[in-house]
Chain A
Amino acid sequence: MLRSSEKYALIALLAGLCLIVLSVAGVQTSTYVMNLVGQIAAFSLLALSLDLIWGFCGILSLGHGLYFAIGGYLVAMHLVKVAFEATGTPPDFMLFMGWDALPFYYFGMENFFYLMFVILLVSFVVSLIFGYLSFRSRVTGVYFAIITQAFVYMMMLFMFRNDTGFGGNNGMTGFSEIFGMSFRENSTATALCGISLAILGVALFGCKKLVDSPIGRFMRAVKEDESRLRFLGFDTVHVKLLAWCASAVLAAIAGLLYVPQVGIINPRVLSPELSIEIAVWVAIGGRGSLVGAILGAIVVSGLKFVLTGLVPDLWPFILAILVIGIVIYLPNGLSDGTKIIGLPKSNKLPNFLQKFKP
């Protein structure tokens, strides 16, 4: 495990603050690069959230896209409402349905603080109910993973409907501005990227504090031997719920950061493929290492950006080979790899690298 989580958290925070300053100062940046970096920061936050429960508490979710989508759809509602207030016309996807005003549940969504409150509340309540019912019934391991996946798939089918007010299969798009900043401005992309990086840094720092606290010790104890904890007199449901809800809220915040940067959300974020990809980031980066999970998200989504442009048909195969290779040679993911290339010292090199040992 990397001991330098705090250092990386500080770097991300400072980089984010610098970009915000650049944005305010009106310095021109590359919108493409800013969008790319900002999106990867949002993905990193998503990976971090999954690592918190999978890597530290041993609970694998293959449906974390659900909480990402909660944050994403709610911020999209905010952006649609803001555009509606400015122009007075509902977005195209509502006009097609013959609606001339926004449905009632858009009430108050133009207020950013209300939006934040709703995002935290919805992700918390949904994860609380889902987690409580599952953990109380002692659904664990692969069964839990399957249920999370089924749930996210069900929500995808629901969001594909066109009459929900959430854009149906076309999704929600046509956003004009955020915080009064037009999405056409380069400074907006810079600011969003900066905010994403800064929040990633704060989240990494917070997660590090959490896993190092007594709560973190209990989370790891749940992962190691949940029944031993029960026979010591602990109700493990409490610890698991705490980690699960914290993870869900983080994932929702990742969705909140992601959608304004890509300018669209559609039910694809609820597809099982995306949720599995989150698990792939964490597995490749290193379960149980916070920095590792972020590294996994950066490497895999970075590769995806490049390779889906160059060889789109080959990408799934490349990803599959990568996963198999990592599982065989680096069971703890790339966070082991950083040890191999010699940054921190390690005495347990994988077998195939033993001969390179100095």
Chain B
Amino acid sequence: MKRAGQAIYVSGLNVSFGSFSVLKNLSWLVNFGEIRGVIGPNGAGKTTLLDALTGKTKFQSGDVFVRGSNQIKDLKESAIARLGMGRKFQKPSIFAGLNIFENLEIALRSGKSTLASFARLQPSERETINETAALIGLSSELEKDAGTLAHGQKQWLEIGMLIIAKPAVILLDEPVAGMNAEERIKTAGLISKLKGPDIAIVVVEHDMQFVEQVCDTVTVLHDGQILIEGSMEEVKKNSQVVDVYLGRDANDA
């Protein structure tokens, strides 16, 4: 049932806050090699899904497997991350008081044990940091405190931290929120560069154009359940999707 090709396998997932049920018996599959978009109206449960996948929110019932058969239930956030789950938050989450180089350095050490992560940097590791900084366009500002960067640059830095940490599964929560058209194009390029047969990328985004540009398949979440899954073409044609986005009740149509 759980093959090696499966990056994320969710089965019967329930998340509720008090009596309010956010994710309802959700089952979902993401394979390696794909870039998956997750869209849906506000309150559909997109961010909650990412929270459950990364251990930020505990789920009441169901199973979540990462990279084949690794059950993440009851694991701490750090243990889940060590299984290869990397996440970019909606609000850029970087170390504001550390400079760009140090931010990337910490992300680079993320796969290691605590003691090993205290070791001095190898020349090859410095090289990797410089390469990644070049990739995200921050080469000339390595010494700058991350907190002084522009909003778009912070987003890129956080993506850069994911690139350098090399997770097998990357979850991106609204990677282009607050970006202008030019920055969006650059971000789309970055994400496309990440794509590979051993990596699965999940993009939660409101910008449909962006989703269409970078994602292979799209999952539409509505009210804690999957409404439809398929290519952006199919999804756009689906009348249910139009209805939930316009706020119309399906029964009215």
- Chain A residues in the interface with B (C-beta under 8 A): 213-215, 217-218, 220-221, 223-225, 227-236, 238-239
Contacts and interface: CB of A to CB of B under 8 A. Distances in A.
A215 B119 CA distance: 9
B3 interface: no
Interface string B102-133: 10011101110010011111000000000000
Given A214-B117, A231-B87, A234-B78, A221 B161 contact: no
B57 to A, nearest CB: 12
Contact of A224 (B78, B79, B95): B95
B77 A227 contact: yes
Nearest to A217: B102
A125 B81 CA distance: 30
A224 B119 contact: no
B118 A228 contact: no
B114 A231 contact: no
B98 interface: yes
A230 B161 CA distance: 13
B81 A225 contact: no
18 contacts: A214-B105, A214-B117, A214-B120, A217-B102, A218-B118, A221-B98, A221-B106, A224-B96, A225-B93, A225-B96, A230-B78, A231-B54, A231-B86, A232-B161, A233-B110, A234-B81, A234-B117, A235-B76
Q: B56, B93, B95, B120 — which one has the most chain A CB atoms within 10 A of its CB?
A: B95
Contacts of A214: 105, 109, 117-121
B223 to A, nearest CB: 27
B196 interface: no
B98 A217 contact: yes
Contacts of B96: 224-225
A49 B89 CA distance: 34
Given A215-B118, A217-B102, A218-B106, A233 B78 contact: yes
Contacts of A224: 95-98
A235 B78 contact: yes
A350 to B, nearest CB: 19
A16 B108 CA distance: 42
B161 A225 contact: no
Interface residues of B, number: 32
Listed from nearest, the 7 A-B pairs whose CB atoms lie closest are A233-B81, A224-B95, A230-B77, A238-B114, A232-B110, A233-B82, A233-B110
A233 B80 CA distance: 7
Contacts of B106: 217-218, 221, 229, 232
A199 to B, nearest CB: 25
Contacts of A215: 118
Nearest to B81: A233
A186 B78 CA distance: 57
Interface centre among B77, B79, B86 (most CB of A within 10 A): B77
B94 interface: yes
A220 B95 contact: yes
Contacts of A225: 93-96
Contact of A234 (B56, B89, B102, B114): B114
Given A224-B95, A228-B94, A233 B105 contact: no
B147 to A, nearest CB: 9
A239 B114 CA distance: 8
A214 B86 CA distance: 22
Contacts of B121: 214
Contacts of B165: 232-233
Nearest to A230: B77
A238 B115 CA distance: 9
A230 B81 CA distance: 8
Contacts of A232: 78, 81, 86, 106-107, 110, 161, 165
A220 B98 contact: yes
Interface string B60-84: 0000000000000000111101100
Contacts of A233: 78-79, 81-82, 110-111, 165
Contacts of B98: 217, 220-221, 224
A220 B94 CA distance: 12
Contacts of B78: 229-236
A233 B78 CA distance: 4
Nearest to A228: B93
Contacts of B56: 227, 231
A102 B107 CA distance: 55
A234 B105 contact: no
Contacts of B89: 228, 231
